[in-house]
Amino acid sequence: MSQYTAPLRDMQFVLHELLCVEPVLKAMPSYSDIDVSTMNQVMEEAGKFCSEVIFPLNQTGDREGCVHQAKSEVITPKGFKEAYRQYIEAGWPALSCDPKYGGQGLPLSLNNVLQELLNSSNQAWAMYPSLSHGAYQCLHTYGTPEQQAAYLPKLVTGEWTGTMCLTESHCGTDLGLLRSKAVPNEDGSYAITGNKIFISSGEHDLAENIVHLVLARLPDAPAGTKGISLFVVPKFLPQGSGVGARNPAWCTAIEHKMGIHGNATCSMSFDGAQGWLVGEAHRGLHVMFVMMNAARLGVGMQGLGLTEVAYQNSLAYARTRLQMRSLTGAKSPEQNADPIIVHPDVRRMLLTQKAWVEGGRAFSYWLALQIDIEHAHPDARAREEAADMVALMTPIAKAFLTDNAFASTNEALQVLGGHGYISEYGMEQYVRDARINLIYEGTNTIQALDLLGRKILGDMGAKLKKFGKLIKDFVEEEGINQDMQAFIDPLADLGDKVQKLTMELGMKAMTNRDEVGAAATHYMRVIGHLVFAYFWARMARIACQYPKDPFYQAKLATAHFYFAKLLPETAYQIRAARAGSASLMKLPSSLF
């Protein structure tokens, strides 16, 4: 009974009114012929494909799940394979890929819109092609000409899919402990041996080949993360324009999971599988970060997509579900009760979802545009500034968007009450699917530590100051605009508080590194709100110009709600961040 319609009007608002992407992209030779009409047409067609082809498979895929058979085979849910065939025939995998390898050469910011649509429609299905794009980016950046010629054209068309194989059973985030080995062969390749777990899309029946990117150690590798190398290990060895011999890279089991049942999460065994070094020896983690950073933004988009579809369904339910009368008198006297959308707390839950999804859309689309600038802008200074923003904001996109998504899907389930708890309405699946996004591709705590410890304190706040300047300039521009005071004053105030909090935590960390660990998660929430407050204020400025248009009325009302009801979370988070590590660390482990 679930439903989904692509939110094209709001997507177009963000791209064309808030970010004004057309002139930004036209300044880059790679995208000089892009225009609004082309972008809108792509979004419309993507919306049709997602809502009509893969969304109907979401609930059935969740119920059926994947099946692990003999000989390492995995069968995906009914309809998944046919949907994937339609996906590659329509050219969607090639959207933002290099034309040199058969790509369409469109900007990543447009491909990012596609990712939202895919994840709203069917996150489990969307994970199969999404990891392929990360493998493409990694090999496009670090692969040898021979590797690029062998793998990129097939990854671009979607005929082959990709994975990244990092985790081992004895180590999760701490990749310095991994044991997989790579022994040189006489022909320049390597024999890869080891076991990996939690490998998304590690085996399936959608494509003729799967390209695994595997972290392993060479015989002379130093201990720790400095001894890790990256290898490309295909399921079938490339031969001519197709595939040849089967490589001994086997799926030994699939995980039985809380959510994303339609995606095969595999245990993989590499038994002397033939692989080739990608990038420099012992620099595998550095090389893999191209794929990992793409994956982290991708996980953020998974969170955004689920927030949108859960919001749409809880809103539809709230408009039709009759229960009790409004506290201020009957709003639908012709009926036996009022629709629950009249009740203040139901509106709180709906507006929370709406504020998170629209704020997240503005932020993530802006971040994708920064990636386009980083990669394609002709001005070196512009590329450098964009790269700094991408580095700073990637952990925020992953953690803040997925935290908010899990909260939002829970609010959506609550709106439906008992119907939200049963599978028929689809809401409990969104909650289950959303939960994994806080865990994989680096848990949200890891993202928080990365943000505070490496991205901010690591460069004495230089990148944060650059974002702070965007806020300062905006505050100065709108400071005398009376219509904007409800947004400008709290934005400026939070900016000042973040500056003071950052300095305080930096001083504490100089004498006790546990202070970073104790404050990081709270700090992440504060910085996430700073980012959202900035974009909500910018959206409010646009909405103020059209006071009689319902679309902008809704935008402005949601902005007021965000600043009044959600932004105050920062007061608690700042206080908790300042509380320090003593209350966490003084209790002996034996007394827990």
Instruction: Give the pLDDT confidence of 214-262 residue by residue, as tens digits.
Output: 999 999 999 998 999 999 999 999 999 899 999 999 999 999 999 999 9
Amino acid 157: pLDDT: 97
Distance of CA 326 to the CA centre of its chain: 39
**Inside any domain, residue 404:** no
Do 167 and 143 share a structural domain? no
Do 128 and 36 share a structural domain? yes
Amino acid 290: pLDDT: 79
User: Could you give the angle at which helices 569-578 and 514-543 cross, rounded to 10 degrees?
Assistant: 160
Do 112 and 174 share a structural domain? no
Do 147 and 12 share a structural domain? yes
* Domain span holding position 247: 161-282
Burial class of 329 by CB neighbour count within 10 A (0 to 12, 13 to 18, 19+): exposed
Long-range contacts of 385-389 (CB under 8 A, 24+ apart): 385/466, 388/462, 388/463, 388/466, 389/463, 389/466, 389/467
**Inside any domain, residue 465:** yes
How many domains, in total, are found in the chain? Answer: 3
Closest CA to 108 of 122, 120, 98, 118: 98
**Inside any domain, residue 349:** no
Q: How far apart are CA 251 and CA 66, in angstroms?
A: 13
Closest CA to 296 of 443, 412, 428: 443
Which residue ranges in the chain fall short of pLDDT 70? Answer: none
Residue whose structure tokens are 């399921």: 235
Amino acid at 300: G
Q: How far apart are CA 153 and CA 99, in angstroms?
A: 10
Do 256 and 181 share a structural domain? yes
Q: Which helix (H) or strand (E) holds 306?
A: helix 284-320
Do 579 and 466 share a structural domain? yes
Amino acid 172: pLDDT: 74
Residue at which a domain ends, from 107, 131, 151? 151
Amino acid at 187: D
Do 249 and 139 share a structural domain? no
**Inside any domain, residue 57:** yes
Do 89 and 21 share a structural domain? yes
Write the CATH number for 62. 1.10.540.10
Residues sharing a CB contact under 8 Å with residue 325, sequence separation 6 or more, in sequence order: 331, 337, 338
Do 58 and 26 share a structural domain? yes
**Inside any domain, residue 545:** yes
Cβ of 535: how many Cβ atoms within 10 Å?
A: 23
Amino acid 294: pLDDT: 80
Q: How far apart are CA 36 and CA 19, in angstroms?
A: 12
Amino acid 522: pLDDT: 98
Amino acid 292: pLDDT: 78
Amino acid 497: pLDDT: 98
Do 215 and 236 share a structural domain? yes
Six token digits for residue 217: 């150690």
Count helices and strands (H / E) in the chain: 19, 11
Q: How far apart are CA 456 and CA 238, in angstroms?
A: 43
Residue at which a domain ends, from 257, 282, 307? 282
**Inside any domain, residue 12:** yes
Amino acid 241: pLDDT: 87
Active site residues: 441
Amino acid 31: pLDDT: 97
**Inside any domain, residue 556:** yes
**Inside any domain, residue 515:** yes
Q: How far apart are CA 333 and CA 279, in angstroms?
A: 70
Amino acid 295: pLDDT: 84
Residue at which a domain ends, from 262, 282, 302? 282
Do 57 and 84 share a structural domain? yes
What string of H, E and C letters represents the secondary structure of 196-220?
A: EEEEECCCCCCCCEEEEEEEEECCC
Q: How far apart are CA 139 and CA 148, in angstroms?
A: 6
Write the CATH number for 263. 2.40.110.20
Burial class of 112 by CB neighbour count within 10 A (0 to 12, 13 to 18, 19+): buried
Amino acid 369: pLDDT: 97
Do 27 and 123 share a structural domain? yes
